[in-house]
Amino acid sequence: MSAFLPGVPQPGEVNPAFGKYIGKAQAFPDPIQKLTEQLNEVGTLLRPLDAQKQNHRYAPGKWSIKEVIGHLIDTERVMAYRALRIGRADQTPMASFDENAFAAASEADRADWGELLEEFEHVRHATILMLRRMPESAWARIGTANNAPLSVRALAYIIIGHVTHHLEIIRERYL
């Protein structure tokens, strides 16, 4: 466990649209520990998948598992960047991002599976290291993203809940 536990996000720290992700993660008092555990969970679940499973779409117009992993990478980068800016007391409002445009432009289906998983691991390690070094006072600091309040601790829980959400979908609809 980390020495500092930031507590779960409180009302006013996060856009209610992120509530489903916060709900999936709020049971974990130590977000850094959960981020680390989740890294192992992703590798254990996904590393063994063959090319057919990696490229499987459970319905027309849905992302392949490769595209889901690309989406997780992109989203974690965006959320970690927001956490860095807010944690460093940057009050400049940040824009939203279009996850579908990112997914299409990433061409994740063309990526090497091992490299895609390695990229997720590196991005997650970078997120963990950044949050470990985040000053305690920064965790409750609030900035603005997508015209709504957002705290560093909310972002940590959003990252956890977002990956949890997509792993549930992978287990239920892809595997």
Mean pLDDT of 96-124: 97
Helix axes 65-87, 99-106, angle to 10 degrees: 120
Residue 16 lies in a domain: no
> What 3-state DSSP class applies to 58?
coil
154: in domain: yes
pLDDT of residue 78: 98
C-alpha distances (whole Å) from 112 to each of 55, 62, 73, 130 are 11, 20, 14, 27
Residue (of 22, 31, 145, 129) closest to 79 by Cα position: 145
Tokens of 165: 């959400």
pLDDT tens sequence across 50-62? 999 999 999 999 9
CATH number, position 124: 1.20.120.450
143 located within any domain: yes
Mean pLDDT across the chain: 96
Give a yes or no: residue 19 inside a domain.
no
**Does any domain span residue 14?**
no
Return the ∠ at Cα 139 (arms to 144 and 121), rounded to 5°.
90
* Stretch 94-102: mean pLDDT: 96
Helices (H), 47-92: 51-54, 65-87
Q: What is the pTM of this model?
A: 0.96
Q: pLDDT tier at 41 (50, 70, 90 boundaries)?
A: very high
Range of the domain at 149: 30-174
On whether residue 117 sits in a domain, the answer given is yes
Amino acid occupying residue 50: D
Provide the domain count of the chain: 1
